[in-house]
């Protein structure tokens, strides 16, 4: 284990190597493990990420800043950063954790990364820790859309329909399957004005609604791309602003498709892995698709989905 290589990747040379050693030590390895450093590093990380967001997004309010921060410091985000610096090869694990593949476990990698932040804070102070965190999060912040990050499919669908002055979707339980302790809910999502009817399934009613909402939004965005009116309309001063993505109406279909692809990627990242949506039956026509182009989107605050 070449700890010098890890220090180079972190951009910090430890004055006290014992802190680095402890930060990399899981409780399964020895009594002097990294859990206290993890506790400290979690607080340092939250403070630094809050500061970075405050500086980067001057026009975002407190609620949205909190939502974005929560998504940037959650386990999955930390795990992805740990993977990027190949942290797993530096872990100090007990024999049992090694055999069970603990070096690949997201929770262990995320906790170790936080412990490293705590160790850097003790080793060189807050500014040093901030610089390390800033560098590691730079690629993430460069691609963050603060208007959509952390929003679920139901919220995104609601905001899209409100921006088009279309009534909110209707969700209905179509069927339930399985034993009482392991039920699967089949949920119908209807957007009558766009003639959209899709179905989603999940281990709870809420999960099924999220899966159906994801399909409904994908269908609506696909209608926007396919609509002849979208291809023929001329550029106007007004703009389409869906979830923070600005596109001049009447731009080439390929450009609109690229934007809708970005929205679809976000939804795929947010959808629960265990709750995969069923194949959906949807009905659309040109008139319904053209309806999507009738209203411009206005940058306004929308109520959150229940």
- Return the active site residues: 42, 114
Neighbours of 211 (CB within 10 A): 27
Residue 110, both tokens: 């995320």
**What whole-number distance in Å separates Cα of residue 52 and Cα of residue 57?**
9
Nearest in space to 281 (alpha carbons), one of 179, 189, 180: 189
**What whole-number distance in Å separates Cα of residue 106 and Cα of residue 122?**
25
Nearest in space to 17 (alpha carbons), one of 2, 39, 36: 2
In the sheet with 196-202, reading across from the earlier edge strand, the strands are: 170-177, 184-191, 196-202
**What whole-number distance in Å separates Cα of residue 7 and Cα of residue 250?**
51
Query: For residues 145, 149, 152 and 153, what is the CA-based torsion angle, rounded to 10 degrees?
Result: 30
Contact 10, 132 (CB under 8 A): yes
Residue 99, both tokens: 């055999």
């Amino acid at each position: 284990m070449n700890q010098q290589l890890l220090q180079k990747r972190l951009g910090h040379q430890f004055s006290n190597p014992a802190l680095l050693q402890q930060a990399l030590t899981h409780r399964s390895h020895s009594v002097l493990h990294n859990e206290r450093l993890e506790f400290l590093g979690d607080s340092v990380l939250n403070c630094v990420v809050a500061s970075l967001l405050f500086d980067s997004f001057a026009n975002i309010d407190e609620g949205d800043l909190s939502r974005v921060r929560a998504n940037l410091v959650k386990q999955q985000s930390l795990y992805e950063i740990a993977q990027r610096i190949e942290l797993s090869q530096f872990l100090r694990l007990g024999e049992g954790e090694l055999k069970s593949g603990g070096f690949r476990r997201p929770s262990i990698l995320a906790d170790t990364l936080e412990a490293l932040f705590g160790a850097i804070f003790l080793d060189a102070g807050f500014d040093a820790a901030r610089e390390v965190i800033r560098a590691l999060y730079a690629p993430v912040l460069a691609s963050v859309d603060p208007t959509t990050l952390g929003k679920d499919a139901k919220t995104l669908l609601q905001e899209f329909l409100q921006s088009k002055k279309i009534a909110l979707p209707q969700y209905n339980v179509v069927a339930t399957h399985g034993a009482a302790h392991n039920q699967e809910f089949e949920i119908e999502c209807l957007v009558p004005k766009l003639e959209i009817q899709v179905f989603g399934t999940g281990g709870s009613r809420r999960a099924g609604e999220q899966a159906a909402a994801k399909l409904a939004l994908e269908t609506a965005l696909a209608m926007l791309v396919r609509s002849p009116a979208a291809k023929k309309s001329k550029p106007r001063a007004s703009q389409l602003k869906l979830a923070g993505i600005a596109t001049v109406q009447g731009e080439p279909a390929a450009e609109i498709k690229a934007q809708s692809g970005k929205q679809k990627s976000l939804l795929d990242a947010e959808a629960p892995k265990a709750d995969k949506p069923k194949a959906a039956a949807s009905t659309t026509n040109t008139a319904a698709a053209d309806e999507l182009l009738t209203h411009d989107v206005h940058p306004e605050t929308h109520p959150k989905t229940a």
